Structure 1
């Protein structure tokens, strides 16, 4: 009998060895449960928990997953009318809450450090006939990386992730059945440091207990954590990760974000990766994505330039970036408005784009300029030369964020686009502004033919349907603050 992994074209000697190795690790560690986890379009991990003895079979045959999990907006409402005739006509393979199959990757095994005798495996969804579900966001990044590979390039990424940690003071409202709602309330919290004292050692000392949990969780999961820092805002912190290949970086972001929230919750803390928590005087959180391209032949940084281009000035991209890097930069600028919704995908996140707030407002680049949307870092001869995108929010889906960079940058390379001079006034006048709302960002995406074709029109329509549901519910909410509290603070 054909195994499901064979039907998908995945089974082979290497995968069989990996599956056997994972089974041995589970047995040797005395694990009782293993979570089979998938990352949804909103960056949230979902899945099923198997008893340890059921895992080996799941590695070959997968486990069933209701298809409506892929059709949820941020409130967990199904955005398609799955039980009406034609309700999923635009989504071949979906309908009537049918089953998909989650197939775990045996190479992704981790033992969870915050809960007893529990393992973790990353999975991706497949249709029951063994064909891939192309709407899966990890598959979207896989396609983008395959396109990059055809150009003889790969992507390297480093992560700077800001978020907020609060101590839970009262969880009554969240678990009181008399107050249950859709979405539910978050817990009552207090800050772990008062803020407005950037990188203060005394503030780190105040927040050391939860930050130690972050540190130990990240390291136990094998994540390349470099530093933990006190950010400017009240109760705001930052985690910085070393550079890896793009897919590893995206997988690490998913694992870090969801793992840290759970580990801190076990210890009585509430961590949130929403951009702007629902309190007065907060500072928005960003997710700064450092990126460069690497030549497949030899691994050289393709953005690196040895000497400035003749006749260039420091305001010119080609003074520091290679010609390929300059074209890539120009592509990011060309499609900045369209890719914004993949970098900042929530209603909440667009409140971050304010002047003089270390967050961008305009479609500009700058040389080591933290007010610009794109910050070019490095000097001639510097193997660490890179571009930092500063428009991301920390709740963004990592796979879509990175895929948007690849598609935009490759268009710049293929059309040999040239960037304008670097800005020295990031909050001054500019030809193009970043979108100021989720609705505007979705419209910018729909109107960009290059990005729609790169992601595929079916995916764009699917993504826009889910996000439009979110925008419409926000517009209809009488109490906007309560919407943000329930929709994002409670869940992200």
Structure 2
């Protein structure tokens, strides 16, 4: 084997967090790859203490260069199998996506996915959560509050009161770090698409070239690791929290999706999108409320959605319209015909999110569904909303709403046996714990509203 100091084997738990097993090079031989190895299964949503270990099987064809690794290491991704080694473990997110892809391919369908991930670069994040003390404090170099801070070596006196997209280098404090992220991605064998300053102060977006869903999911996991490592080396905190700043732009994770029959993009027809593409959109719109439990799986996700969309309005689609939940980008090349699902965010487990979206699209195609709403034209008017007027097919307003929506609309996820009933239940239990914990603590704004009541 190639000389190295460590072998690192990566896997993803049910919450979407990337974790690793690390072995000294002397402890790894061909048998580790051929037969796998048993290790603890005490991951969130998997097993409890005292239950059997699971079998981890590293895949040779997943080897990648980890540009965030300081030591000489060879990095691979592991499949997760049950303790008997009979087959893939039903709660392994990457395995769920692989099973969905294989079954769809047997029906003649291949998918391409291009993720776009947004995040923030902060100087400092402090927070506290106790029974009698609850606060958070964020410092970021491009905010108006830093215009008078002489202690910040990066402060050049610019106050960014205009849109933050596509800033010039003189006002773009994060350009150097974003460029380093892209360099690390390329060194790791990834294919970055674009790198830009997003709408918020110190916010960034990185797009990844379209690939098969499994490789796209792997790329998102690796990119998150590289971005955090790159930020840490610069003394910054890279976060993919959906809504870290009140009233600021949230961080999304847009999923660009297309369906193919062999070498033909089935979403393209006669200079526009095909009927099959509209079927897929209709399937995603039909299941959008339950999809939110996978694409927006945290309480913080719904702060972003409330800011980004009129949550009382029905789920929308639109040609080139970034106000729509599902956008149909204008394209020149037929190979680029696709849809962009915009209501997800980076707190999602990328493998579960992609698998769920694929299954919703397939449901729309199989049942020849058509979008029930008209195409969204023009921007959506923001402002105070009357929650009593919410449409039945609007996005959930809270994580609790998403959990309940999934409880009544989950049959489409069990197509091909991709999501077992047990996996869906465990995913709901994780979300229920998050939702319950959120409601136990007062929000700092509560004191503004009712301290003097």
Query: Does the pair score TM above 0.5?
Result: yes
2:139 paired residue number: 190
For residue 214 of structure 2, give the secondary structure of its aligned residue in structure 1.
Answer: helix
Deviation of 1:124 (Å): 2.2
Report what 1:44 is aligned to: 17
Verify: 1:67 aligned to 2:41, yes or no. Answer: yes
Please name the residue that 1:157 is paired with. Answer: 113
* CA distance, structure 2, for counterparts of residue 69 and residue 480 of structure 1: 32
Question: For the residues of structure 1 that align with 2:123 and 2:28, how far apart are their CA atoms?
Answer: 36
Output the CA distance in 1 between the equivalents of 2:27 and 2:192: 33
1:119 aligns with 2:74: yes
1:110 counterpart residue number: 64
Q: CA deviation at 1:478?
A: 3.8
d(CA) in 2 for partners of 1:246, 1:359: 29
Corresponding position of 2:349: 397
Q: Counterpart in 2 of 1:20?
A: none
* Alignment equivalent of 2:260, drawn from 284, 294, 297: 294
What secondary structure is seen at the aligned counterpart in 1 of 2:403? helix
Contact 1:445 1:452 in 2 (8 A): no
CA contact (8 A) 1:355 1:427 kept: no
Contact 1:358 1:371 survives alignment (8 Å): no
Question: Structure 1 112/449 Cα, relative in aligned 2: closer, same or farther at 3 Å?
Answer: closer
| Distance in 2 separating the partners of 1:330 and 1:37 | 36
- Give 1:42 shift: 2.0
Distance 2:237 2:332 in 1: 44
Deviation sequence 1:102-131 (CA, Å, 0-9, x none): 211112222322312233211122122112
Are 2:90 and 2:420, in contact at CA under 8 Å, matched by a contact in 1? Answer: no
| Residues in 1 aligned to 2:199 and 2:306: alpha-carbon distance in whole angstroms | 15
Secondary structure of the 1:330 match is helix
Deviation at 1:45, TM superposition (A): 1.1
- 1:435 aligns with 396
- Contact 1:360 1:426 (8 Å CA) reproduced: no
Which residue in 2 is equivalent to 1:217? 184
What is the CA distance between 1:199 and its match in structure 2?
1.3
Q: Deviations over 1:148-174 (max 9, x none)?
A: 212211001112111011235x9xx89
Rate the CA distance shift 1:266–1:103 in 2: closer, same or farther, 3 A: farther
Q: Deviations over 1:312-353 (max 9, x none)?
A: xxxxxxxx3212112111111111111111111111111112
Partner of 2:150: none
Among 447, 450, 457, the alignment partner of 2:408 is 447
**Deviation per residue, 1:209-268 (Å, 9 max, x gap):** 321321121111111112211111111111112111111111111111123212322332
1:268 match: secondary structure = coil
Alignment of 1:100 with 2:61, yes or no, is: no
- 1:329 corresponds to which of 266, 276, 281: 281
Asked whether the 8 Å contact 2:360–2:413 carries over to 1, the reply is no
Q: Which moved more, 1:104-113 or 1:218-227?
A: 104-113
CA contact 2:283–2:363 (8 Å) conserved in 1? yes
What SS class does the counterpart of residue 326 from structure 1 fall into?
helix
1:138 equivalenced with 2:111 (yes/no): no
Q: Which one of 352, 376, 381 corresponds to residue 423 of structure 1?
A: 376
Distance verdict in 2 for CA 1:58–1:262, change over 3 Å: farther
- Cα contact 1:359–1:373 (8 A) shared by 2: no
Given the alignment of the two structures, is residue 129 of structure 1 paired with residue 84 of structure 2, yes or no?
yes
What residue in structure 1 maps to residue 222 of structure 2?
255
| TM-score scaled by length of structure 1 | 0.76
Conservation of the 8 A alpha-carbon contact between 1:354 and 1:360: no
More helix by share: 1
Instruction: Give the whole-Å Cα distance in 1 for the aligned partners of 2:362 and 2:398.
Output: 26
Q: Distance in 1 between matches of 2:75 and 2:441?
A: 37
- 1:203 to 1:285, Cα distance in 2 relative to 1, 3 A: farther
Instruction: Say if 1:378 and 1:386, in contact at 8 Å, map to a contact too.
Output: no
CA distance in 1, matches of 2:254, 2:341: 6
Task: Note if contact 1:376-1:387 (Cα within 8 Å) is conserved in structure 2.
Answer: yes
Q: Report the CA distance shift for 1:58/1:264 in structure 2 as closer, same or farther (over 3 A).
A: farther
- Tell me if structure 1 keeps the 8 A contact 2:96–2:352: yes
Q: How does 1:241-390 map to 2 (within 5 A)?
A: 241-277=208-244, 279-296=245-262, 299-306=263-270, 320-354=272-306, 362-378=314-330, 382-390=334-342
Q: Decide whether aligned partners of structure 1 residues 435 and 269 sit closer, same or farther in structure 2, where only a CA change above 3 A counts.
A: same
Structure 2: segments with no counterpart, 5+ residues: 144-159, 382-389, 446-453
Asked whether the equivalents of residues 283 and 364 of structure 2 are also in contact (C-alpha less than 8 Å), the reply is yes
